[in-house]
Amino acid sequence: MSVNVESVPRDQAEKLRQLMAGREERRPRLLGRPGQLLAEPEKAPRTRVLTVASGKGGVGKTNLVVNLGIALAQRGLRVGILDADLGLANIDIVLGMVPPYNLVHVLRGEKALTEIMVRGPEGVQVFAGGSGVYELANVAQWHLDRFIAGLRELDGEMDICLIDTGAGVGRQVMSFVDAAQEAVIITTPEPTAVTDAYGLVKMLSLHNQEATVRIVVNMVESQAEGKAVFERLRAVSHRFLGLDIEYLGSVERDGVVAKAVRDQRPFMISNPHSRAAQAIQRLADVLTARPPARPQGLGGIFQKMLRLSR
Ligand SMILES: Nc1ncnc2c1ncn2[C@@H]1O[C@H](COP(=O)(O)OP(=O)(O)O)[C@@H](O)[C@H]1O
Ligand SMILES: [Mg+2]
């Protein structure tokens, strides 16, 4: 539309100018200088990213990520799950599906993000990290720009993304945890698991004091046991690290979990009334009750990881 601003009365012309200016501002600025990460429009929607990790392996991260993802999807959220556990990537086992491509293919420009996604139960979109995170530092800037732009597009299509990062304080896990806006750390009541969870919280506190850190105690005998484990962790984290961690909740030890793994059918679907499923629903309640004011976004977490890797 072309408007001859000079031919209309002055106040009207001013109004038109403002209108046109507003329209310009809302248009996403997609073209950056070469080598410059693409500028993000001010109010663009962003995915809420939950980085899930544990100090010790085998504490129930993958089962939690999958079933919590399903619980959130059942509430009408558009959910993504990023399997970023290099060592024991086993979302495929829990879900009985194997994403054929991963972030490495996206970073190399061979696949689009949407092409590496596999649709799971309740429409949860599952995608795999592969060694993509290790490769970030070695990828040509041109590919990185395109990758970040792709993630920003995804930010508009996904409300929440759970990242299963794996166990321990190795580089792969810490790169996600250090860049996280919201970290969820899983432990069991077992002393070795709690010690390792504290070790992970300690590493996080060195680089990422701004993160919201929430604890899940899995395989508890009772909710009271879980709360007591959390309170001990909270006290030492506050005293020795100056970090205030939050309680997300506890999940009881429940035979339906192992059965669900054997059947490759998540217990949220096969046993929605089990103790474990009800506990997962409570975790979803707590999470949805307190979203961050401005979610980090998938573009945001990867950009921060890139910044930290340089
Ligand atoms: N709440 C629970 N009750 C009983 N068994 C559980 C529970 N959570 C996990 N498990 C068992 O622990 C095993 C490891 O869980 P998984 O989610 O693969 O852990 P991680 O991803 O931390 O290695 C599962 O195969 C399952 O049998
Ligand atoms: Mg796992």
CATH of the domain at 182: 3.40.50.300
Amino acid in position 242: G
| Within-domain flag for 26 | no
pLDDT of 30 reads: 43
| Ranges of H-type helices in the chain | 10-26, 61-74, 91-95, 103-107, 132-135, 141-155, 171-179, 191-207, 223-236, 255-263, 267-270, 275-289, 298-308
Would you mind telling me the total number of residues written for the chain in this entry?
310
CA distance 30 to 197: 41
Structure-token match 């002393």, residue found: 191
Q: Whose CA is nearest to atom 24 of ligand 1?
A: 258
Number of domains comprising the chain: 1
> 102 has which bridge partners?
128
Instruction: Report the percentage of the chain scoring pLDDT > 90.
Output: 70
pLDDT of 169 reads: 84
CA distance 304 to 103: 17
- CA distances in angstroms from 48 to 10, 261, 264, 277, 296, listed in the order given: 45, 27, 27, 22, 6
Q: What is the largest CA-CA distance in the chain?
A: 79
Expressed in angstroms and rounded, the spacing between residue 53 Cα and the centre of ligand 2 is 9
Overall pTM > 0.85: yes
Asked if residue 99 has pLDDT above 70, the reply is yes
Segment 226-254 shows an average pLDDT of: 98
Pair 165, 65: CB distance under 8 Å = no
| Within-domain flag for 32 | no
Structure tokens at 272: 């929605």
| Within-domain flag for 224 | yes
Give the CB-side neighbour count of residue 134, counting CA atoms within 13 A.
Answer: 9
| Within-domain flag for 21 | no
Helix (H) or strand (E) holding 51: strand 48-54
Structure-token match 């929430």, residue found: 214
| Within-domain flag for 66 | yes
Atom of ligand 1 at shortest distance to CA of 253? 3
Per-residue confidence at 16, pLDDT binned at 50, 70, 90? Answer: very low
| Within-domain flag for 244 | yes
Residue 219 φ/ψ region, left for φ over 0, alpha for ψ in the -120 to 50 degree band, beta for the rest: left
Pairing, β 125-128 against β 212-220: unpaired
Look up the domain containing 158 and give its range: 44-308
Expressed in angstroms and rounded, the spacing between residue 271 Cα and the centre of ligand 2 is 21
pLDDT of 38 reads: 56
- What does the pLDDT look like over 114-157, one tens digit per residue? 999 999 999 999 999 988 777 887 888 888 999 999 999 999 99
Segment 189-199 shows an average pLDDT of: 98
Pairing, β 125-128 against β 118-119: antiparallel
Kindly state if the Cβ of 51 falls inside 6 Å of ligand 1. Answer: no
Asked if residue 29 has pLDDT above 80, the reply is no
Expressed in angstroms and rounded, the spacing between residue 91 Cα and the centre of ligand 2 is 7
Kindly state if the Cβ of 226 falls inside 6 Å of ligand 1. Answer: no
Q: Whose CA is nearest to atom 17 of ligand 1?
A: 60
Pairing, β 212-220 against β 160-167: unpaired
| Within-domain flag for 82 | yes
How far the first Cα of the chain sits from its last, in Å, is 46
DSSP states along 4-24 = -GGGS-HHHHHHHHHHHHHHH
pLDDT of 133 reads: 77
Q: Which of 243, 176, 239, 189 is nearest to 214 (CA)?
A: 243
Kindly state if the Cβ of 166 falls inside 6 Å of ligand 1. Answer: no
Expressed in angstroms and rounded, the spacing between residue 255 Cα and the centre of ligand 1 is 10
pLDDT of 130 reads: 86
- CA distances in angstroms from 33 to 29, 145, 261, listed in the order given: 11, 10, 48
| Within-domain flag for 245 | yes
CA distance 230 to 227: 5
Segment 73-96 shows an average pLDDT of: 85
